[in-house]
Structure 1
Amino acid sequence: MLTIITIVAISAAITVGLAANRRRHRRTPAGGEEASVTDLISPLQTLSVLLVAFVIVVAAESYGTASQAAWDEAHRVDQLYEEADYSPEPQREGLQAAAVCYTRAILAYEWPDMEHSRRMAPEASVWSSDFRRHFKELAHKDADTFQLLVEADDERSAARQTRLSQASPAIPAVIYWFMVVALVATIGAFAFGLPRASTASHIVLLCTLAALFTGSLILIEDIDQPYSGFIRVTSKAMQDTADDIGEDFAKDHPGRSLPCDARGNRTRA
């Protein structure tokens, strides 16, 4: 919806600006002074360019943080699985099974719903609770892996929270719309300031500038929603981890079934 409104607004700016330009030239005698129009457009152009640059940087930083958080979470789950390999039984199998089920639940429930609810899916949280239950049992056994596992889980939890928080747009709506207004005014001013003897090349350059500004706005809107849109952070890192540790569990515990189904729903205690 924002994309459509943006395109319509820029197109309207060109139309209104050109219409005002024709009206101005009809009222201005040939050879009249036009430099003042350019002088007025220059600061508006500077403001628009600086505003676009600032917003792109903010959106790109948010996108980068979201991408890093998604990778960090997947990596920490994989790390937790590997470190659990040095724990005594039955905690070893319990932790590794919970890690596999956690990734499945994240992929099946939390990731698809993240753009709308931005909440922790209980289907996945039940497995992170299992982690802590096994940690308590390891603490009573004074296991050497206890501290390493707790640290890995803390980092996983922090990455998960960051991933969810980055699902919200980093750019407030008021800033985005202020930028749209500034760019619309800039395009309209350029159209209004075209010389009396404007040629097709002037119109082409104006349309090119409008297209670049429109593309910038569409790009900003897209990357400011890091988990949806054309340029988005995918669940590939978590999917790779799920596949990897799922295969490892089958090798490490032959004949043992996971306590969850393919979507991470608990099937047994």
Structure 2
Amino acid sequence: MAIAIVVAALALIAGLAANRFLRPRLLTEDDDSGMAVKDLVAPLLTLTVLLLAFVLVTANGSYGKAEVASRGEARALDQIAETAEYAQGKQRAAIQSDAVCYARAVRVQEWPAMSDGNGDGSKGPSVWSTGMRHNFRPLEGEPAFGMLVSADTKRSEERSERLTQATASIPSAIFWFLLATLALTVVSLGICLPRKNNRGQLIALTLITALLTATLCIIRDVDRPFGGIVDVKPTAIADVEKQATRDLRAHDKNAELPCDEDGKRITRLAKG
């Protein structure tokens, strides 16, 4: 994002410098000289705006899918914790405990790991999802077993989708192409400004540069839905964590979780 701002600022400076030193050589009012530079700037500006708009829509679609997947994963985990109520005491407590720890691992460990846009997750949640499936086995043959397996499959699919959308959808080559196009557009506009009585045009050029740069920065930010200024928060999974904890404590106020606040497994020493 900082690179985009620096390049845009340099392009603006270059355009103003070119306006002062190159404009007299490039522009002419003589109709016999052919198409002037200013006649070519409008199509270039239109192309830049269309490219930015198209890429922004693409990045925003990825952001929306990431948010939907995050909420879908949370709903599936909540269903697992609620369905566990149909199990016997030991299995119920084990499944709900794993659900709480899974939510903590996603919120504390995996969310920061996705912020760089590489789609890298964390091994933390997988530890607890494996534990949940292990605790499903004693319930095989009971009605709750099918519901638990179905909810866990949904949870796994939504997590995979979340990790997929965490990967930047706009390749670096396209971003650099957009940045180069933006810089070229700003320089071209600067060349075409009048050399005298141009205060209004200078203000307009500065505003155009700021808007185009802001659009490119928004694209860069939205394309990384789990990091940056506009990001998907782990609100849904945090709510499920609280609900699953309440369900667990409702049966046993002193129930101990097998993980700490960060979703990491606690190794307890045997007593005696």
TM-score, normalised with respect to structure 2:
0.89
Residues 1:28 and 1:227: Cα distance change in structure 2 (over 3 Å): closer
- CA deviation after TM superposition for structure 1 residue 31, in Å: 5.2
Partner residue, 1:17: 15
Q: Across the two proteins, how many residue pairs are aligned to each other?
A: 265
- CA deviation after TM superposition for structure 1 residue 261, in Å: 2.6
Once the two structures are superposed, the pairs formed by residues 124-139 of structure 1 within 5 Å of their partners are 124-139=125-140
- CA deviation after TM superposition for structure 1 residue 83, in Å: 1.2
Partner residue, 1:59: 59
User: How many Å separate the matches in 1 of 2:74 and 2:236?
Assistant: 6
More displaced 10-residue stretch of structure 1: 210-219 or 239-248: 239-248
Q: Secondary structure at the match of 1:260?
A: coil
More displaced 10-residue stretch of structure 1: 57-66 or 157-166: 157-166
User: What amino acid is aligned across from residue 263 of structure 1 in structure 2?
Assistant: D
Residues 1:23 and 1:265: Cα distance change in structure 2 (over 3 Å): closer
The sequence identity of aligned pairs, in percent, is 38
Residues 1:4 and 1:257: Cα distance change in structure 2 (over 3 Å): closer
User: How many Å separate the matches in 1 of 2:123 and 2:81?
Assistant: 21
User: What amino acid is aligned across from residue 133 of structure 1 in structure 2?
Assistant: H
User: How many Å separate the matches in 2 of 1:60 and 1:121?
Assistant: 25
Q: Secondary structure at the match of 1:145?
A: helix
1:184 equivalent in alignment to 2:204: no
- CA deviation after TM superposition for structure 1 residue 222, in Å: 1.0
- CA deviation after TM superposition for structure 1 residue 268, in Å: 6.1
Q: Secondary structure at the match of 1:231?
A: coil
> Is the 8 Å Cα contact of residues 115 and 168 (structure 1) preserved in structure 2?
no
Q: Secondary structure at the match of 2:255?
A: coil
1:221 equivalent in alignment to 2:220: yes
- CA deviation after TM superposition for structure 1 residue 197, in Å: 4.0
User: What amino acid is aligned across from residue 83 of structure 1 in structure 2?
Assistant: T
User: What amino acid is aligned across from residue 200 of structure 1 in structure 2?
Assistant: R
Once the two structures are superposed, the pairs formed by residues 42-53 of structure 1 within 5 Å of their partners are 42-53=42-53
Once the two structures are superposed, the pairs formed by residues 1-269 of structure 1 within 5 Å of their partners are 3-27=1-25, 32=30, 36-116=36-116, 118-139=119-140, 142-267=141-266
Residues 1:54 and 1:107: Cα distance change in structure 2 (over 3 Å): same
User: What amino acid is aligned across from residue 81 of structure 2 in structure 1?
Assistant: Y
- CA deviation after TM superposition for structure 1 residue 190, in Å: 0.8
- CA deviation after TM superposition for structure 1 residue 215, in Å: 0.5
- CA deviation after TM superposition for structure 1 residue 209, in Å: 0.2
Residues 1:115 and 1:66: Cα distance change in structure 2 (over 3 Å): same
> Is the 8 Å Cα contact of residues 100 and 242 (structure 1) preserved in structure 2?
yes
User: How many Å separate the matches in 1 of 2:178 and 2:189?
Assistant: 17
User: How many Å separate the matches in 2 of 1:229 and 1:30?
Assistant: 46
Give the gaps of 5 or more residues in structure 1: none
TM-score, normalised with respect to structure 1:
0.90
> Is the 8 Å Cα contact of residues 100 and 245 (structure 2) preserved in structure 1?
yes
User: How many Å separate the matches in 2 of 1:180 and 1:85?
Assistant: 55
Deviations 1:91-113 (A, max 9, x none): 22221111112112222322222
Q: Secondary structure at the match of 2:253?
A: coil
User: What amino acid is aligned across from residue 11 of structure 1 in structure 2?
Assistant: A
CA RMSD of aligned residues (A): 2.2
Residues 1:144 and 1:5: Cα distance change in structure 2 (over 3 Å): same
User: How many Å separate the matches in 1 of 2:23 and 2:164?
Assistant: 53
Give the gaps of 5 or more residues in structure 2: none
More displaced 10-residue stretch of structure 1: 24-33 or 64-73: 24-33
More displaced 10-residue stretch of structure 1: 84-93 or 72-81: 84-93
